[in-house]
Structure 1
Amino acid sequence: MQKGSFSLTIPFRIFYLLFLGFGFLCFSQIAGAQAECPVQLSQQRVVVRYGGSVAVNCSTSVSHKGMGWEASEGAVAMTRDSLITWRVSNLTEWEIKPYCYINHKEQCQVELPVIIYKTPDNVSISIVKHRRTMIAGRQYQLQCDVQNVAPVHNLTVKWYKGQTLLNQTTFTEDSKTPVNVNPSVLIRPDRDDDGAQYRCEAELDLGAEGPQYPPNKTSDFLSITVYFKPIINETKLPSVVPVFRGYSEEIVCEAEGNPKPTISWILGTNDIVYNKALTISESTPEYVSCVAENSVGTTTRKVKVFIQVKPIINETKLPSVVPVFRGYSKEIVCEAEGNPKPTISWILGTNDIVYNEVLTISESTPENVSCVAENSAGKTTRQVKVFIQDISISTVNHTEPMIAGKQYDLQCSIKYVAPFKIVDVGWYKQNKNNITETIKTPDILTYTVQIRPDRADNGSQFWCEAKLEAEGTQRTSTMKSANLSITVHFKPIINENKLPSVVPVFRGYSEEIVCEAEGNPKPTISWILGTNDIVYNEVLTISESTPEYVSCVAENSVGTTTRKVNMVLKEDYLPLIAGLIAVIVAFISVIFIFIYSIYYKTAKMGHYSLKDAKPSAQNGDIAQNGKHSPIPMKKFSQSDILA
């Protein structure tokens, strides 16, 4: 198939090229002839209204044998004049082709193009196969009927909506006589086009030789009616409508549509109210629907009826008086119910506002703070008094470090407890091992307690707690003081495990002994040797020259502790024993070597003297001591040896 189509295309292309070449050759000859023809036309092209008049001059500047106009109307006979005029007062021939000719060297001629135009007898616009009522969003066809217009290839039909140009249609038919044309255009109107006016205009564009203003004719206006589905005004009818509890509210449903829609309300399942306005209250169903309906369609808008409730603050969780211990902080919470959900804020002082449900109060908080719960239904405020409670622990008439074993008084000071009363005071101690114990409170309620710290209490922390009870409400509260850390000084205690009371020392050697002591403040360590000899060091080197008794002295600001050590001199027999063992070992070694050498010389085997030995006989006998032995000897074979 492809080869066949290719074979048909090649000849067609060749014919087409030959045709173009031939046409171009003819045109060149004609143009050359006209260019060489010595006449000039006053107009190169004539545009004239049908039935109108026309006059065109033809002149020459050369001598000739005669010239004239050849035309079906207004012909001019050949004359020897140099200027002749083709004139028609009522031009009605559509196909007229006038030309001026001259007899010069030979006859030649120049044709005058003539365009005869005619404006339409009538221009009208209509809707194709439809009445004038349209539905928004659908497509429709408009048609423009143009009667008796010429020439049609110069015609343009323009489409207008109001003064706005929508489209335009042109034509390609090459007809010089009047024709009827019926161009059309598609439109899709919307609700804004209701009442719009459409028109079409037929205009002849005749070029520069035509009239200054192109001749045209316009149809009458076509006014259309557009029906469209109802559109509910959502601005005037929000999707959520608030109403205060105990009150009523009126809501209005407005809708635009063509035809004019009817309005109704659907409440619940089947309850319908035919009215634009609807009165709602807390008894109204949660959801109601506005229904707008006309012949085109139905539109529904759902509305939520939102019952608003003024905030109610939970007073159980937020008492009117809130105590806070001095030096500490505390969180208080404001909770509120309401519809819509309220926002919570705290007012502190004049302008300080905190937007949070939780407020942290301390001794720096103003005495009066207010919780504000607010929503669109209203505002609720609850005032709270911040009551600063103070409790502290201290020693009584004592500021210096405590001495272990002595007695001291601790005091618990409690201030500003109203409206509470004190029902109990407890005392506590936590030692450096994080063990907490309760100190028994005296039978008679008092705010002081006696302690007798020991060395294990150094660094311990004491505090007191007061149990409070509000009058009339039976509400209790507990106040805790800050911790009191005590320092306990105690007399040095020498570590007797590391420093025994009797220490042996070998003659000729030295030994180190260590004196360690615990105490607060840290004790100084010294050694007393003899009467006045003192060594300030924890470590003491002793030898046979050291006095028989030395003393370790541990001393601090609380007291002095002494430990006496007895130096016992001992002889060191270890070198003597080692020397004796060495002598014995050496003696035994000498005896062993002596015995071994004797045994080796007298009892050795496998060694013989070959002095004066004779060659052995060939008979295989064994020679002894260089003499021939008559004793026959048997020679053993290998098998005998193995056997």
Structure 2
Amino acid sequence: MFCCCIFLAVSLLHSLCHFHVSGYDPSCTEYPVFTPSALVVKYGDPANVTCVVCQKDCSGDASGLEHTVGKVSQNGTTMFWTVDRLTEWGISLHCYYNNDAGNQCTSILNPTLYQPPESVSISFVNHTEMMFENQQYTLQCSVQNVAPVQSLTVTFYRGNTALGHLQSNSEQKKPVNETFTLNITPRREDDGAQYWCESKLELRPAGPQRPPVVTSEKLPAIVHYGPELNEPPNPDVITITEGDTLHLNCSSVGNPSPSYTWTLPLNSSPSYSGSVLTIKSVGFEHEGQHICTVSNTVGTVTKEFNIDVQISSIPYIIRGTLLGVLVLVGLSLGCYCKRKQRGNYKLSKIIVIDTHRLFFLMGFPRKFRFPGWMFSISLSQREDQPADPRPQLIKERGPPCCYLFCSQFITDTIWPTNFGLGDFFLLTNVFSFSFSQRNYLDTMLSCYLFLVISLMISFRDVRVSASGSNCTEYPVFTPSALVVKYGDPANVTCVACQKDCSGDASGLEHAVGKISQSGTTMFWTVDRLTEWGISLQCYYTIDAGVQCTTVLNPTLYQLPESVSISFVNHTEMMFENQQYTLQCSVQNVAPVEKLNVTFYRGNTALGHQQSNSEQKKPVNKTFTLDITPRRKDDGAQYWCEAKLELGPAGPQSPPVVTSEKFSAPPVYYGPELNEPRNPDVITVKEGDTVHLNCSSVGNPSPSYTWTRPKNSSSSYTGSVLTISSVGFEHEGQYICTVSNTVGNVTKEFNVDVQASIPNSAAFPWIWIIVGVSVAVLFVLICVLCCLFYKQNRKGSYNLKDVLRFPMRTALPLQNCENI
């Protein structure tokens, strides 16, 4: 009896479980189908949709399409919904039919109503003035009156570079105003960049093929930053040879443009305010520390130059050679005079020279210290003549040669000049003594030594005067720098001198043009300047016979005739992360050393290049730049810009010539999956809808191949595999293979189908019916068992006979008698 009850309970539970699995409305063998399956409509536009209620299970009579707006017409089991102007937000369409079991089989369509933004604007949050490098600022993009906001994507841009993508987390269906913010930290290369934002409604796949896009105006940014030196740090000491040219480069970049202040050694030239200090002929007065201070409103930097001037060996070689030649000539002259000697003569007034001042005059620097009284020069004077403040050597019975070389040259040529010998000779003692006939050569050599030293002094003094040390001022050009376009007229004014104008000679040397003069002011004009590499030399001559000159070198420039851009040895497709070379060709431009070429992709600068050629005449120049394209560069436009940087004297807006915009070949790259990696197993309930998303990006557009379980339906070639009503036959592994000409990737989906839980409203009634059934069966079994137990309590019975009891066949009479 107990075993029978257990068997019955297990059978009932098994039937209950089977009823639970089949409880997902098994009476609906199909569901209504909308065409299109998803509906996206712009606010105010007409819309229509078709619903096929059923195709097989159409035995029921009741079917329809519930709607709040629009009209519905029906043709058999097909219904047509139309609306002339859709303006209701959040509507839904219910298409249904009733089957024979009395159940309603329904499909719901929720149309998406969208409205592009009325306006999009960009601004900085709480900031209207200048920006500073490496400080954080907040960009704000305001989108007005857009719906649905959850489909809105906002992208911030700097030029053509995307800075960030943002989306709203609002689920509002009606139009709203939404504000998006992005923090940025500008750098100096962002100075002059334009910021803007773009709003895009991502309504695919049922939406417009080109998503509705609205962009803001472009907001220019000015980034201020402190000065930064262009040149690397200097060595501790800059060693240079006397007479060489020295360039101290303190050039820097900064915004606003920096100013320069130089602190020079005390004995150097007056102050200077340019970025590059040029000393054409370095002297010992330039030795020491030069400090350059660069400053703007943001900050200040300094750069130090420690100059050590060394002696030039070339002038001393020349002087030594001259001295040796003069000594040889003097010895030869002495031998000649010895043969001519016929008497003797007196010498007096010995002059001793301060050798420290003497060697300074001969060109040695002050740091040379020669010991003692090195030379003594003897000069003679007639005893019967009054004293003459100028030492003279007068012939008595001396040789004619001595009179010629000593007396005449020294007294009439060297001494009266402006060499300043009286300031440098120190008269220490006067001696009177006589020499005998045998020491006339000593007298001659003393005279000759004075001649040699005087010549060396004059040589040194003339060399210094030639470098302009006696010039108290120099001619001044107005303008100080001249920049002229090829073929244009030009003019310049030169004031030769204003104070030291005692000399008569002044002028302006020129190769082209005309000169007119008014006093010491000269005017140079040319109607059409076409000569390359000319120079203008304005000068005046002072009383010492020294010419004071200023040179002006006009800069003649010519804009490029053409600028073109292309790829080097490449015309076909490009592949991501491979290197290619851009080439910018500039034709017939001058001066090429002032040319600056910039490569662009869209509005993004890729690199700046300059020529190292010093050619003044027009030339053709080619610049190259290596690039590595990325997938986002597909369809980008490349171009280059040639700019002549002619400095402050040139045009305020530097002349610019740009190339045409060159559309690059397509950038090919292998497929890449959009969705993240799937979980190991995708669990779904029977009857639910599942979407297996294998969408990807690639160029060329990838193709999709699906490998499905054996018991599943036929093959599929789309990017998203949708199963509307999942059954146990859909359980298993799905493999999606995405491929194009560059490569392929695969994605696996492991689907596990679970039994569906019955409808919560019907669930209690099912258990009540099951419980009552179990109770009735249990009572019935107990009654039957009791009856059969009484009849057969003295014998045995077979359970099969009990089960056959309900049959109507009568038992044989003899069997009853036996009982």
Higher strand proportion: 1
TM over 0.5: no
Decide which structure has the larger Cα Rg and report it: 1
- The structure whose RCO (Cα within 8 Å, separation 6+) is larger is 2
Larger helix fraction of residues? 2
When the two structures are superposed, what TM-score results if normalisation uses the length of structure 1? 0.43
